[in-house]
Amino acid sequence: MCDLFNYFDEASVHPASGSVFGQLRKSVPVLNPAPVQPPKGARNVLFLIADDMRPSLPFYGLKEGFAPNLGKLATSGAQFQHAYVQFSYCAPSRQSIITGRRPDATKSFSFMDDFREFGVGNQWLTMPQAFKAKGYYSFGAGKVFHEGVPANYDLPYSWSTPGYVDRGGNATNRCREECCGVPESEQSIWCMWDLEPGTLLPDQLSTATFKSGLGEAAERLRTTGQPFFGALGLHKPHLRWDFPKQFLDNITERVPTARVDSWPNDIPHLHWHECAEMSVGGMWNSEGWGVPPPSQEYQQHARRAYYAAIAYADSLFGEVLDQLEALGLANDTIVVATADHGWSLYEVSRARRGPRRQAASVQPIAPRRPGSPACPAPQRERRLPPLTPRPDPRPAHLAGRRDVQDDAR
């Protein structure tokens, strides 16, 4: 199977060996190794991550979707059909992705705890920190880590830069109608913008900041030969689905609703769990029981807005990929695009994230390594070189297991 572990070879990228993940930040000093000289011929790495983005994308079969930039990345690299997150909430999922450990190791199951807390482990490195320790210039912007966990976006450990930009923006809407005409009953979940020139939504600010950092990293590479690791995190398509109004035009009005929009009658009360963001939408009654889903029209509008928010996120990732091409670095840079988890769009009466349904637990993954053969979905049984040398026996610090056998077996 074409899986991420097997997609790259040793010459492609040189992360630190051993655990790639977390540290203590209290009485025991955080592990912060001094960078070494980067390996000769090491490739640059871009890591792009969206928020709450399930694989509602054309190259995953959604004909109503619009994501040409991610589609181009997927068709020129690899595409994963069955990638599942450890926990379908932002903070614990991101900590698992960036540390390579399950939530029972990171001790993160909500938005309060993180792997840097006392007693978790002082010899872990994060993904960007591992590259930094190997001599890479590490920089990032936006929601890579969930804000506040770990503190200060893990400065100074994960990043080579002295500062970090997330959130912000100065968006001013020129529309005379609130949210450019979005029905008032739906404005709690989506809003369109006709932006005043020179004003930016938060993800646009993060992307602009990241592109500036990418330009600086490219110049550093040119003058010193130092490769870079760059990570950009977008908040969309997280609720509220705010996006420039032109992106709605990319999505047909005839968006089909969920095929199964009713929750099974025999599900126990314990199985219900309120997601705070959707409580404003009247999805639960005062006793914590689910209520019937909204009208088909409401669901259709919500789905169309969600797909438009994905199109907006795709356009921002596209800006970064276009800049990489303009800098002449596309053939020397590994790119990985993914999301922290999915989102339910009224399947079985759900409109939320949460660990109990597949729609919220699956994530898109589209990595591209220059020079490696493409691994599109129809050829997903094709074997590709490994990311790093595979030690035997498998180190205990790596979470999970590989059920895929080598060709020779």
Strand order in the sheet with 333-339: 137-142, 228-233, 44-50, 333-339, 365-368
Whether 201 and 171 have beta carbons less than 8 Å apart is answered as yes
Beta partners for residue 137, in sequence order? 228
180 is catalytic: no
CB atoms within 10 A of CB 405: 8
Whether 74 and 65 have beta carbons less than 8 Å apart is answered as no
Q: What whole-number distance in Å separates Cα of residue 332 and Cα of residue 315?
A: 22
Q: What whole-number distance in Å separates Cα of residue 70 and Cα of residue 311?
A: 10
Q: Which two tokens stand for residue 407?
A: 């060709």
Task: Please give the radius of gyration of the chain, using alpha carbons only, rounded to the nearest integer.
Answer: 21
Q: What whole-number distance in Å separates Cα of residue 243 and Cα of residue 34?
A: 41
Instruction: Name the strand (E) or helix (H) holding 222.
Output: helix 202-224
The catalytically annotated residue of 2, 90, 275, 375 is: 90
The secondary structure of residue 260, as a DSSP letter, is -
Whether 383 and 407 have beta carbons less than 8 Å apart is answered as yes
The catalytically annotated residue of 14, 146, 301, 341 is: 146
Beta partners for residue 140, in sequence order? 231
Q: What whole-number distance in Å separates Cα of residue 132 and Cα of residue 152?
A: 17
Q: Which amino acid is at 173?
A: N
Longest dimension (CA), the chain: 66
- Nearby residues of 69 by Cβ (< 8 Å), 6 or more positions away: 314, 315, 317, 318, 321
238 is catalytic: no
Q: What whole-number distance in Å separates Cα of residue 149 and Cα of residue 307?
A: 28
Q: What whole-number distance in Å separates Cα of residue 343 and Cα of residue 189?
A: 13
Whether 408 and 26 have beta carbons less than 8 Å apart is answered as no
Going by C-alpha positions, the residue among 66, 91, 56 that lies closest to residue 364 is 56
Q: Which two tokens stand for residue 134?
A: 């190997």
Residues with catalytic function: 90, 146
